[in-house]
Structure 1
Amino acid sequence: MKLAVFVTEFPKTTETFILRDLMVFLEAGVDLRIYHLAPWRKDQILHGFAAPLAGRARHLGLGSGAAVAGVLRHPLTAAWMAARILRHQGAEPVMAAKSLALLPAALGIAEELREWGADHVHAEFAGHPATAAWIVNAAIGVPYSVSCRAHDIFRSQRLLAQKFAAASAVRSVSEFTRVFLARKVAGVGEADIDVIHSSVDVAAIPALPPAPRNGTFRVLYVGALQQRKGVDVLLSALAGLDGDWRLDLAGDGPERARLEALTRDLGLEARVAFLGARPFEEISGLIEAAHVCVAPSVIGPKGRTEGIPNVMIEALAHQRPAISTRVSGIPELIRDGETGLMTEPGDIDALRRALVEVRDDPDAAHALAVAGRAHVAAEFDLRRNAARQLEMFTRTGPLKAATAATPPAPLAPERIIPDAG
């Protein structure tokens, strides 16, 4: 299979869940290309395990010669898709402008994929990657699928009905998002959406024994430092926690300066370590050293929030106790009192009580972690879920043939401009 995967950014330190899938696809013999719509992210880490992907990553600039050539080869498709974008997304002018700016590059990519002989396109996220896949499909007819996660569908649903109708498959990473989409997107029902969780390679992760009971109680947060992550809630909860404890924050982001200031205001500088973004290979060691892993997620500005935090899947796979909040699909992973502990988002006192519960009853906390690892093995296993995705990629579309409007038939590319070279 010749598979093109569309992402917004590459590399992206926090998107290990995508990188792991791609590596399994390579192992399965897939001929893979990765198209990142934004330029190469020099400020991000490409984790060592994903190094082979670097040579498969490609980017076409929005105003590149290939993009201009794509428009010249497909002028009717360009006009048709521009009209549909304005019709369905015009009420959100910023998003519409970004989609229109993406149109030439997507048509340039379409020409590359036509020449390559692509069998399928998969869009990681329902926003710009899915828009690009939708445009490619309109231009050259290659079937495509879409993975839906969190902010890509929660912030706005404009244009989703059009992109989903033409797709051969739509994947949700949680039951929560499947129900959300069925309720919010016209013409799409729950039966039309595959739930395939983000995953970890459980067999490759050792089940850790309980952390040492004596000494400092170690709390770990791994993830971006953004408002929707709720790290300020965690800091406030720990400020009222007695005894000897330490918090390691592995990650970076726009909230770092504010969180460092909050740490100083709370008098916690000696107990909180801002480690910055860390390579994937170091995260296992941080989890092993921790007594508990916490994802204090909240609903951020403009509805931005989590799908299911990948680090919580990893923590449970390592058999470490996990605490998180009742946001989005998180309760599908962490079942309160069964596989971990849950609190309401933003509830400082409840989060502090959960931390105390883990610290003061390590046997019960370890029992939750054991059950959590078993749950991850059953529902979040990398190879099983990657195989389900590969099966999904073999489908031909569209998902909703009756509602997938088609553009006017374009002239054959050779009739517009000759092939380069």
Structure 2
Amino acid sequence: MATPLTRTLAVVLKGYPRLSETFVAQEFLGLERRGLTLRLYSLRRPYDPTTHPVHQEIAAPVTYLPEYLHQEPGRVLRAWWRVRRRPGYGAVWRTWLRDLRRDPTRNRVRRWGQALVLAAEMAPDVDWVYVHFLHTPGSVGRYAARLLRLPLSISAHARDIWTIPDWEKAEKLADARWVATCTASGAAHLDGLAPGKVTLLYHGLDLDRFPSPAPLPTSDRDGTDPSAPVRLLAVGRAVPKKGFDLLLRALAALPGGVHWHLTHIGGGKETRTLKALAADLGLADRVDWRGARDQGEVLAAYRMADLFVLPCRIDADGDRDGLPNVLMEAQSQGLACLSTRLSGIPELIVDGETGVLVEPADVPALTAALARLIADPTARARLGAAGHDRVRAAFDHRTGLDRLAALFREPAA
């Protein structure tokens, strides 16, 4: 029998709660149910208007660190006064100063101030610092863990792996007890910087929250009837790496006699730009922009759709998706998926068997794939059923959570 967990984690993350990070909330609830006590420390306050039901089930209290140091200067000064005489403070300050010389930005200064507050205000029962995302939270958690002489572990994902320099990644990995990441491509990259430190852990999906529809959905819509257009669905933040502008261009290139309607769910800074692009392409009346929605509404949308499309790509700054949870969610409902050969997506979708993949940023290929799948409801049903079976067989979130909990059973000393 496994040893019961009594460990208390200080969990450092960039923002909480966030609608776009259901996998994070799912993990927190799973760790609590496995006996861990969590204290959440967020660098930013929430900006989403609603939350998912899972957020209400998490018992962990949340402390919000100063988002900008000038907003709470007294809090930062008090924190510095409390930690400045701690053993090793000078060594950690010199580490931050070396980082600042290589990255002379206000953001780097802010990370130091947030780390001071985190170290000063951390709950006394904490015996492990656990960071979600390698970039900004990784810096704050690393400095604080060293100030308090606590073990550090990191969960790395996508943007945080690919948009910070190798020197920063390597030094954070060197300080961590272990690092978990959610795609084989990300794990291979990080393992090259810190051999033996990295564990591949798929987030998986809480299948109890995404029960199989009975029976699996079928549709005879094939794009030939203007009164029954094929229902396309895209879920994700309106940011460049999701490729929604490419999707609009691919849809605009379809023949005029192909009838479809697209629903987009998700917030994001590019929403206004995407709406303008849809209007310029003559698609405004064929796209429904629903904004951010909670998990129940998203689940209902999966069950109403005929085809899920997520044309991920690499952004100009190197940012990219890892293995988007929305693809697992869509497949759990028997919905055929069209995406791209990027990062961990081929680890989930086998092209031609459990979905369809095209090359990132290849608009003609995306248009051709859309045309084929819109016209062929039989193929959509076959792909959707196969994707459903694969998710339920290989991506149950409990497997990854059990392995993650086991990592925290290691001695903290």
TM-score by length of 2: 0.88
Match of 2:65, as an amino acid? L
Name the stretch that deviates more: 347-356 or 374-383.
Answer: 374-383
Corresponding residue of 1:412: none
Name the stretch that deviates more: 224-233 or 237-246.
Answer: 237-246
State the Cα deviation string for residues 217-258 of structure 1 (Å, max 9, x = none): 011000100111110111111112242210001012111111
Aligned pairs for 1:319-358 (under 5 A) are 319-358=334-373
Equivalent residue of 2:373, what SS?
A: helix
Q: Distance in 2 between matches of 1:212 and 1:67?
A: 59
Q: Distance in 2 between matches of 1:393 and 1:89?
A: 31
Corresponding residue of 2:242: 229
CA shift for structure 1 position 332 = 0.9
Matched, 1:213 2:228: no
Corresponding residue of 2:29: 23
Q: Distance in 2 between matches of 1:204 and 1:149?
A: 22
Which of 9, 12, 29 pairs up with 1:3?
A: 9
Corresponding residue of 2:225: none
Q: Distance in 1 between matches of 2:220 and 2:292?
A: 28
Matched, 1:56 2:61: yes
Q: Distance in 1 between matches of 2:130 and 2:333?
A: 30
Displacement over 6 Å in runs of 4+: none
Q: Distance in 1 between matches of 2:100 and 2:189?
A: 20
State the Cα deviation string for residues 110-147 of structure 1 (Å, max 9, x = none): 2333x521132211100121112211221122212111
Match of 1:227, as an amino acid? P
Which of 302, 308, 318 pairs up with 2:333?
A: 318
Q: Which runs of 5+ in 1 are unaligned?
A: 399-421
CA shift for structure 1 position 376 = 2.0
CA shift for structure 1 position 51 = 1.9
Which of 129, 133, 138 pairs up with 2:137?
A: 129
Asked if the contact 2:334–2:385 (Cα under 8 Å) also holds between the matched residues in 1, the reply is yes
**Per the alignment, do residues 367 and 43 of structure 1 end up closer, same or farther by CA in structure 2, a change over 3 Å counting?**
closer
The structure, 1 or 2, with the larger RCO (C-alpha pairs under 8 Å, 6+ apart) is 1
Asked if the contact 2:34–2:405 (Cα under 8 Å) also holds between the matched residues in 1, the reply is no
CA shift for structure 1 position 347 = 1.1
Which of 155, 168, 175 pairs up with 1:147?
A: 155
Q: Distance in 1 between matches of 2:180 and 2:331?
A: 23
State the Cα deviation string for residues 64-84 of structure 1 (Å, max 9, x = none): 555433322332644432322
Match of 2:240, as an amino acid? Q
Corresponding residue of 2:104: 93
**Per the alignment, do residues 177 and 296 of structure 1 end up closer, same or farther by CA in structure 2, a change over 3 Å counting?**
same
Match of 1:125, as an amino acid? F
Asked if the contact 1:144–1:167 (Cα under 8 Å) also holds between the matched residues in 2, the reply is yes
Which of 46, 49, 60 pairs up with 1:41?
A: 46
Equivalent residue of 2:238, what SS?
A: coil
Q: Distance in 2 between matches of 1:64 and 1:318?
A: 49
Equivalent residue of 2:293, what SS?
A: coil
Q: Distance in 1 between matches of 2:207 and 2:148?
A: 39
Percent of aligned positions that are identical:
31
CA shift for structure 1 position 102 = 2.1
CA shift for structure 1 position 18 = 0.4
Q: How many residues align?
A: 390
Q: Distance in 2 between matches of 1:111 and 1:396?
A: 24
Match of 2:114, as an amino acid? A
Which of 116, 131, 155 pairs up with 2:124?
A: 116
Aligned pairs for 1:156-235 (under 5 A) are 156=164, 157-183=166-192, 185=193, 188-189=194-195, 191-208=196-213, 209-214=216-221, 215-235=228-248
CA shift for structure 1 position 60 = 2.6
Q: Distance in 1 between matches of 2:146 and 2:97?
A: 16
Q: Which runs of 5+ in 2 are unaligned?
A: 1-6, 222-227
CA shift for structure 1 position 47 = 1.7
Matched, 1:239 2:252: yes
